[in-house]
Chains A and B, each alone.
Chain A
Amino acid sequence: MNAPAAESAPHAAGIWRDALRRLRRSRAALAAVTAITLLVALALLGPHLNPNRYDSIDWSCIAMPPGLEHAHWWGTDPLGRDLFVRTLLGTRISLAVGLLATLVSLFVGIVYGAVAGYAGGSVDHLMMRVIEILSGLPLIFFVILLTVVFGRSEYLLFAAIGAIGWLTMARIVRGQAMAIREREFVEAAAAAGASPVRILFRHVVPNVIGPVVVYATLTVPQIILFESFLSFLGLGIQEPQASLGTLIASGASEMESAPWMLLIPSAVLAILLISFHVLGDALRDALDVGDL
């Protein structure tokens, strides 16, 4: 961005206003925001609109196809559980996992990257070397091992997933921090006697927000995908709880006789993921961040 490097921090509000204007002009971004908002609202409210519970078994309606003439709007699974409620609860869990793990990875990545970039020199060198080694590892296999070790604790699963996602974030923040460190307003703050920690959080962190927002938007779908992937493999969310991944896994085994069990959760997951990706792309263009 060509914001003039003034004595004070660059005027951020103007950049955001421009970005918002450009974002509003993008029809794809609007559609994505609408889809995400609708899915979030459905995930939060939907289960209360339907009389069925996610784990109640309706023996009279085993593997019932979708339809509005009965209480199971999106049909039922082979155990007679309501798929409308289960899919939306699964969406809720997927969203929660995505947001939580993204926050974890953001926190770790920003702190790590900002420290490395701002410290520079040998500290930076060492910290980047660690990232280099970690990113050469098949981290997904470690997560698979971690899920086995920590058993069935969902919160630890969130943390584990978030803990593998911070590498790229740290790289981005480091690059920005290094660039900003050289700018006048940071030098001025240092000359005025502000402590490095204060400079880091007052000046460096706020200025990396653009790329961070873009990357976070693109991380949420990755983690949702990852969670459903683990659940699909039987390593994530456990019965009778459901995530989109477990629903798709059980749907895939019934696809010849009851295709809706596969198609409904798949469609929800696909819409969710595509919307986040489209929004992330649009944000990247609007904030003029460049390729991450």
Chain B
Amino acid sequence: MIRYLLVRLLGALPTLLAIVTISFFLIRFAPGGPFDQARALPADVVANLNAAYGLDRPLWQQYTTYLRHLAHGDFGPSFRYKDFSVTELIREGFPVSATLGAIAIAIALVVGVGVGVVAALHRGRWIDHATIGLSVVAIAVPSFVLLPALGLLFGIELHWLPVAGWDPTSIRDYVLPVVTLCLPPLAYIARLTRASMIEVMRSAYVRTAFAKGLPLRTIVLKHALRPALIPVASYLAPAVAMTMTGSLVVETIAGLPGIGRYLVQGALNRDYTLVLGMVIVYSTLLISMGLVVDVLIAALDPRVRLEA
């Protein structure tokens, strides 16, 4: 198991390197630079800044320097957030984004699976139709529509919850962003669970379990649920990607101090190191999710062997 994890993690390094390389040169080919501002700086100031950050050297040299620093865990200084290193920015923002994302995924999993199972067991009845209908709405309505709409309803009309602003001690600030983030993956998970549960409940081994005279509860929880969860486990990696995408918007709208806003701002400001740092963080997360998914599937299905 440990060997498997090590081999897989080592195998991910070339992928990560490829991502960093492509991103590095992509952002560099974008017109403009980090010191272009609305109020143009004098040319000699820009030249000094470029020299200070090493931007005057050949591109390949900057690339190798960046990689060398990266190997020591140093993401470099941010060009826009003066006096902050990218590492510091990530260290401050990541816990907020991660908490938000983790809560959203956890809720999506628990509620989504629950709803999916109930819908599957009541196939063709109103509760099933309602699940399918609502899931389409949840998948189709984008987060940047949902969050303002929820804010309009619960914040401005009903005054139940804050619309924006951030107070890390207040759970209420989390509610709308988490709801917005969790709904699309929740809907997908509910649909996946429903479909696979219907299939499993038709399987021969569930029929055997019924023939043994076991109560429905035991059959569903003990015999049917675990195999039905396999497609859900495979979906976890895309779900995390979806939540990341959502967090870009949700954090911006709700004004949360996570890292979601850095990618877009970094790209627009040509904050090279910040963009690369974000790409690395997100890629690592996604690649690790792929690994988590494989381990989960092996845990769910004893026939699957983990082979590196």
Residues of A within 8 A of B (CB): 133, 136-138, 140-142, 144-149, 151, 221, 225, 228-229, 232-235, 245, 248-249, 251-252, 255-256, 259, 262-263, 266, 269-270, 273-274, 276-278, 281, 291
Q: Is there an interface contact between B151 and A255, defined as CB atoms closer than 8 Å?
A: yes
- Whole-angstrom CA separation of A150 from B53 in the bound complex: 25
Contacts of A251 in B (CB 8 A): 148
Q: Which of B71-79, B138-146, B215-223 contacts A (4 or more CB under 8 A)?
A: B138-146
Contacts of B156 in A (CB 8 A): 255-256
Q: Is the interface of A mostly helix, strand, loop or mixed?
A: helix
Give the nearest-CB partner of B152 in chain A. Answer: A255
Q: Is the interface of B mostly helix, strand, loop or mixed?
A: helix
- Whole-angstrom CA separation of A274 from B270 in the bound complex: 36
Contacts of B26 in A (CB 8 A): 142, 145-146, 149
Give the nearest-CB partner of B231 in chain A. Answer: A291
B49 at the A/B interface (Cβ < 8 Å)?
Answer: no
Q: Is there an interface contact between A133 and B15, defined as CB atoms closer than 8 Å?
A: yes
Q: Is there an interface contact between B263 and A252, defined as CB atoms closer than 8 Å?
A: no
Known: A137-B15, A229-B245. 15 other contacts (CB 8 A): A137-B286, A138-B244, A145-B30, A149-B29, A151-B31, A228-B142, A233-B264, A248-B148, A252-B144, A252-B253, A255-B148, A262-B148, A269-B142, A273-B140, A281-B132
A148-B267, A234-B268, A278-B136 given; A273·B141 CB < 8 A: yes
User: B123-168: which residues lie under 8 A (CB-CB) from chain A?
Assistant: 132, 136-137, 139-142, 144-145, 148-149, 151-152, 156
Contacts of B141 in A (CB 8 A): 270, 273-274
B111 at the A/B interface (Cβ < 8 Å)?
Answer: no
- Output the least CB separation between A285 and chain B (Å): 11
Give the nearest-CB partner of A32 in chain B. Answer: B136
User: B1-27: which residues lie under 8 A (CB-CB) from chain A?
Assistant: 15, 19, 22-23, 26-27
- Output the least CB separation between A16 and chain B (Å): 24
Q: Is there an interface contact between B263 and A141, defined as CB atoms closer than 8 Å?
A: yes
Q: Is there an interface contact between A141 and B278, defined as CB atoms closer than 8 Å?
A: yes
Q: Is there an interface contact between A144 and B283, defined as CB atoms closer than 8 Å?
A: no
B282 at the A/B interface (Cβ < 8 Å)?
Answer: yes
Interface size on B, residues (CB 8 A): 45
A151-B31, A233-B252 given; A252·B148 CB < 8 A: yes
Contacts of B275 in A (CB 8 A): 145
What are 13 pairs between A and B in contact, CB < 8 Å? A136-B286, A141-B282, A149-B27, A149-B29, A255-B151, A262-B149, A266-B148, A269-B145, A273-B140, A273-B142, A274-B141, A277-B136, A281-B136
- Whole-angstrom CA separation of A148 from B268 in the bound complex: 7
User: B225-256: which residues lie under 8 A (CB-CB) from chain A?
Assistant: 237, 241, 244-245, 248-249, 252-253
Give the nearest-CB partner of B129 in chain A. Answer: A28
Give the nearest-CB partner of A233 in chain B. Answer: B264
B93 at the A/B interface (Cβ < 8 Å)?
Answer: no
- Those 8 A-B pairs whose CB atoms lie nearest each other, nearest first: A273-B140, A252-B148, A266-B145, A274-B140, A149-B30, A148-B30, A148-B267, A145-B26
Contacts of A141 in B (CB 8 A): 23, 263, 278-279, 282-283
Interface string of B254-289 (1 = CB under 8 A from A): 000000000110011010000100110011001100
Contacts of A255 in B (CB 8 A): 148, 151-152, 156
Give the nearest-CB partner of B144 in chain A. Answer: A232
B290 at the A/B interface (Cβ < 8 Å)?
Answer: yes
